[in-house]
Chains A and B, each alone.
Chain A
Amino acid sequence: MIGDKWEEFAKRVKAGEDAGKVLDDLGVKRYCCRRMLLSHVEIIDEIVRFYEKGTMEKEDVM
């Protein structure tokens, strides 16, 4: 199961670690599992940003 491994993977790769080594470390062996994490783009961060901004602007007006 790889569902609970994304956050650690993303955090460590962002901190500069080698993606392949992180995957080995997490015990993700098969290449079909590895590509799921390697190629994933967390689009929700891009969308949530607008809603975060929206609430902040509302607060400014008030």
Chain B
Amino acid sequence: MDLRILEKNENSMRFVVTGISTPLANTLRRIILAEVPCMAIDDVIMIENSSVLHDEILALRLGLIPLKTDLDGYNLPEECTCNSELGCNLCRVVLTLDVEAVDETRTVYSEDLVSEDPNIVPVSSKIPIVKLAPGQKVRLEAYAKLGRGVAHAKWQPVSACAYRYVPTVEIDKDVCDNCGDCVDVCPVGVLEKTEDGVKVVNEFECTLCEDCVDACKKNPAAIKVSGNREAFVFYIESTGALPVERIITEALEIYKSKFKEFANQIAVIRNGSEKTD
């Protein structure tokens, strides 16, 4: 297996993995989407809400604000020893919001949320939550907890997570008459028309749409597009809750523990059947 990072920004990463199967690539994708935990506001206790938004809509908006997550400092509520409904210091963070518009209409932003843990704060300070007219007030307590994407999309640590096959574009020089139809039809500019025939200039950007193959007047077409089924271009974009590297390593840890659990189950079944024999 070979890993090559193509591009890495603060919150996103594009990389190529070679030598894994499609099911494994898809497993990684699905674990990242559904199993890697992150923090999000779950329970909200309204003390006062005279804004134009109903309590439940306000709570939904709060839930969808991405929070910076500290995975090592907190337990998942279902795995925590406290067993309490609203959680304990090890499995929840309380954020309070206490805003009143006095003289003029004001917008309540994510930065107005006051967290008891300085590490668990909204990823961005400028997310509008609600607008308050003069005299309107919002006072509430919000309980942020770790959760998984299977339960609600607010617990997904990524805003995009996708993979595709590494593309190969081949042109049969003996057949190609350099008409340029395929160059014009390509939406991502993979091909270029030159004096000595059509050239592949940007192979990596190919999305395997095969428009170029359809555009070719030759039969069979002079151009062949194929995906390498053992090499994948991954694109992962974090919401900012966790660094991309942490999301990937966490996903692999989860995969490992799931596999171990599976092996244990098989061992139990095997031991059981031996006894009945």
Binding site for B on A (CB under 8 A): 1, 3-4, 6-7, 30, 44-45, 47-48, 51-52, 54-55
Known A4-B124, A7-B128; contact A48-B65, beta-carbon cutoff 8 A: no
Across-interface contacts of A6 in B (CB, < 8 A)? 128
| Bound complex: CA A3 to CA B128 (Å) | 7
Give the secondary structure class of B's interface: loop
With CB as the reference atom, state the residue of chain B lying closest to A46.
B52
The answer to whether the Cβ of B130 comes within 8 Å of any Cβ in the partner chain is: yes
With CB as the reference atom, state the residue of chain B lying closest to A53.
B133
Known A3-B127, A7-B128; contact A55-B133, beta-carbon cutoff 8 A: yes
Report A34 CB to chain B, min CB distance, Å.
14
B124, B133, B159: residue with the most chain A Cβ atoms closer than 10 Å: B133
With CB as the reference atom, state the residue of chain B lying closest to A52.
B133
The answer to whether the Cβ of B239 comes within 8 Å of any Cβ in the partner chain is: yes
Asked if B160 and A47 make an inter-chain contact with CB atoms under 8 angstroms apart, the answer reads no
Asked if A51 and B136 make an inter-chain contact with CB atoms under 8 angstroms apart, the answer reads yes
Across-interface contacts of B126 in A (CB, < 8 A)? 4, 7
Across-interface contacts of B131 in A (CB, < 8 A)? 44-45, 48
With CB as the reference atom, state the residue of chain A lying closest to B64.
A3
| Bound complex: CA A1 to CA B65 (Å) | 10
Asked if A1 and B105 make an inter-chain contact with CB atoms under 8 angstroms apart, the answer reads no
The answer to whether the Cβ of B53 comes within 8 Å of any Cβ in the partner chain is: yes
With CB as the reference atom, state the residue of chain A lying closest to B109.
A4
Given contact pairs A1-B159, A52-B105, enumerate 8 new A-B contacts (beta carbons under 8 Å).
A1-B239, A4-B127, A7-B107, A7-B126, A44-B52, A44-B53, A51-B52, A51-B135
Across-interface contacts of B107 in A (CB, < 8 A)? 7
The answer to whether the Cβ of B63 comes within 8 Å of any Cβ in the partner chain is: no
The answer to whether the Cβ of B240 comes within 8 Å of any Cβ in the partner chain is: yes
Q: Mark B35-66, 1 if CB is under 8 A from A, else 0.
A: 00000000000000000110000000000111
Asked if B128 and A47 make an inter-chain contact with CB atoms under 8 angstroms apart, the answer reads no
Across-interface contacts of B135 in A (CB, < 8 A)? 51, 55
With CB as the reference atom, state the residue of chain B lying closest to A45.
B131
| Bound complex: CA A44 to CA B126 (Å) | 17
Would you list 29 pairs from A and B whose C-beta atoms are within 8 A, ordered by A residue?
A1-B123, A1-B124, A1-B159, A1-B239, A3-B64, A3-B65, A3-B66, A3-B124, A3-B128, A4-B110, A4-B125, A7-B107, A7-B126, A7-B128, A30-B160, A44-B53, A44-B130, A48-B52, A48-B105, A48-B131, A48-B132, A51-B133, A51-B134, A51-B136, A52-B105, A52-B133, A52-B134, A54-B133, A55-B134
Closest 7 CB pairs of A and B: A51-B133, A3-B127, A4-B124, A4-B126, A47-B52, A52-B133, A55-B134
